Amino acid sequence: MAYETITSETQGAVTLITLNRPEALNALNSTVLGELQQAFAAFEADNSQHCAVVTGSGDKAFAAGADIKEMVDKQAADFFLEDFFAGWNDMTAKTRKPWIAAVNGFALGGGCELAMMADFIVASENARFGQPEIKLGVAPGMGGSQRLTRAVGKSKAMDLCLTGRMMDAEEAERAGLVSRIVPHDQLMDEAMKAAQAIAGMAPMAAMVNKELVDAAYETTLQQGMLHERRVFQILTATEDRKEGMAAFVEKREANWKGR
Ligand code: CAA
């Protein structure tokens, strides 16, 4: 599929989606959203694809935010009637397969929010994260105030949202926003290697692991534990559970059926 503002390609069982507006630091406009929605839907529907990586083109940015030039002349009623930004969360909420954000530079505003929608973030040592919307007279609109607070706690989320400052990859990793930092020139290798490893797992188990960790944000500990236990028990009915355990005992590689 040919896109205008992103690229999407498959490498084995991994879909690599690249935000491709380097001249605008990969700012996220409605064309990007429409194309990402198509790319995510294609990834989700393709039974040969088991994990995705999203990154930004160029050396400078993952995405420097929602496209300010697209927003500058809009009226409040337009934002409200279009339910502006709702599509981002809808798109990622519909994606049951795992995906990774490979953050190669600025991840600001909507860029930071898109990265936080991923199941985890692998960051280049050049990555910079922030929610600078306050400097534009607004506030985050794609989940920044909510997801950042859950990821790094109140104090740092307040600091970032209220001052609009950026944090570097080291600070982001210390704060728990980022799962690993890698040298800039190894970012894509490492992110793709992680994605290939995930894509090599039993597919339903990968989807269920994602669902369970996500559920931890939405529920109480006791309800979450019960949900986890029941899901574990149900997963034992799959062919892949029998294969996975038999392969361990027989000291061989598992041959997943995805059933
Ligand atoms: N929207 C539109 N265009 C953007 C952009 C954005 N968010 N960020 C950068 N660009 C464009 C610039 O306008 C510039 O284009 P021109 O050459 O045509 O002028 C080009 O990208 C390169 O940017 P700079 O010249 O500014 O590059 P720099 O290295 O000097 O600075 C930067 C980099 C610090 C990231 C700076 O570009 C910047 O501050 N960008 C805006 C960051 C921001 O405020 N993001 C939040 C947006 S609002 C939002 O995201 C709301 C939400 O919650 C979803």
The pLDDT assigned to 1 comes to 78
Report the nearest-CA residue for atom 13 of ligand 1: 24
**Structure tokens belonging to residue 128:** 């910079």
Report the nearest-CA residue for atom 6 of ligand 1: 67
Ligand 1 pocket test: pick from 26, 68, 92 the residue with the most ligand atoms within 8 Å of its Cβ.
68
pLDDT category at 142 given cuts 50, 70, 90 is very high
Average pLDDT, the chain: 97
| 90 contacts 127 by C-beta, under 8 angstroms | no
Q: Using the mean position of ligand 1's atoms as its centre, give its distance from the Cα of residue 189 in Å.
A: 27
Instruction: Please report the sign of the dihedral spanned by the C-alpha atoms of residue 164, residue 167, residue 171, residue 175.
Output: positive
User: Model confidence over 52-98: pLDDT tens digits?
Assistant: 999 999 999 999 999 999 999 999 999 999 999 999 999 999 999 99
pLDDT, mean of residues 12-16: 98
Q: Is the CB of 140 under 6 A from ligand 1?
A: yes
E strand segments, the chain: 6-11, 14-19, 51-56, 61-63, 99-103, 106-108, 120-124, 128-130, 166-168, 180-182
Measured distance CA(140)–CA(96) in Å, rounded: 25
Measured distance CA(14)–CA(198) in Å, rounded: 9
Percent of the chain's residues with pLDDT above 90: 99
Q: Is the CB of 142 under 6 A from ligand 1?
A: yes
User: Model confidence over 212-222: pLDDT tens digits?
Assistant: 999 999 999 99
Q: Is the CB of 25 under 6 A from ligand 1?
A: yes
| 89 contacts 110 by C-beta, under 8 angstroms | no
Report the nearest-CA residue for atom 54 of ligand 1: 110
Q: Using the mean position of ligand 1's atoms as its centre, give its distance from the Cα of residue 25 in Å.
A: 7
pLDDT, mean of residues 37-62: 98
pLDDT, mean of residues 185-197: 98
pTM: 0.97
Positions marked active-site? 66, 110, 113, 133
Q: Using the mean position of ligand 1's atoms as its centre, give its distance from the Cα of residue 23 in Å.
A: 10
Using the predicted structure, report yes or no on whether residue 246 has a pLDDT greater than 90. yes
Measured distance CA(162)–CA(56) in Å, rounded: 26
